[in-house]
Chains A and B, each alone.
Chain A
Amino acid sequence: GDSVTQMEGPVTLSEEAFLTINCTYTATGYPSLFWYVQYPGEGLQLLLKATKADDKGSNKGFEATYRKETTSFHLEKGSVQVSDSAVYFCALGNTGGFKTIFGAGTRLFVKA
């Protein structure tokens, strides 16, 4: 079945450091890929998405490119801020299915 694997956390970085959170997937068909972010005490909210191979999703300085050849959708940001501290979830959605598959989440701590 479909699945999402993302790197375990927590990830601790200093402010202005470069961020990469790895995400790989297994899926049939042509899924859409998402990154959701969960700030402390809140629900998940969409950060970015890509709907087909080679698409790049971007938002708030975060980027991720849909790589079909490596079945990956890694999240990157060039310079993190303390306010980016949160849990990040990689997710997969398949058309024709009703269920989005979420990764386990990666907690990011950014130190000032």
Chain B
Amino acid sequence: NAGVTQTPKFQVLKTGQSMTLQCAQDMNHNSMYWYRQDPGMGLRLIYYSASEGTTDKGEVPNGYNVSRLNKREFSLRLESAAPSQTSVYFCASRLSWADNTEAFFGQGTRLTVV
């Protein structure tokens, strides 16, 4: 069972470079999410997609863009990376928009911006 798959697992970028983090789920889930995890701050929501064809900003969207490519895939793009974006990024999915259902997480992408 693949579940939620994120690529890459590690990435080092120079300030100003761009990159796209990929996420795919094979559970036929409707909702997908991007979080960042920073020491002492837990998980903060960047963007989410309640269903295919929709995306919305979360708590910390500045400097990021997303694309819900189809029901399976939800990508996160950094157009011009900054050191403040050094973090661990997690993609998650949920069966429905109802927030009382379990979220499934990928293994994370550790991004360093120098």
On A, residues with C-beta under 8 Å from B are 31-32, 34, 36, 41-46, 49, 51, 89, 93-100, 102-105
Contacts and interface: CB of A to CB of B under 8 A. Distances in A.
A32 B92 CA distance: 18
Nearest to A106: B42
Nearest to B40: A104
A28 to B, nearest CB: 13
Contacts of B104: 45
Contact of B107 (A43, A49, A94): A43
A49 B99 CA distance: 12
B100 A104 contact: no
Interface residues of B, number: 26
Contacts, number: 60
B100 A51 contact: yes
Contacts of A96: 98-99
Given A94-B100, A102-B35, 9 more contacts: A34-B102, A42-B107, A43-B108, A49-B102, A93-B99, A97-B99, A99-B45, A100-B99, A102-B43
Contacts of A98: 31, 48, 50, 56, 97, 99
A97 B58 CA distance: 12
Secondary structure of the A side of the interface?
Answer: loop
Given A99-B58, A104-B42, A31 B108 contact: no
B90 interface: yes
B87 to A, nearest CB: 14
24 contacts: A31-B100, A32-B99, A36-B103, A41-B107, A42-B108, A43-B90, A43-B106, A45-B104, A45-B105, A46-B102, A46-B103, A51-B100, A89-B42, A89-B43, A94-B100, A95-B99, A96-B98, A97-B99, A98-B50, A98-B56, A99-B58, A102-B35, A102-B43, A103-B42
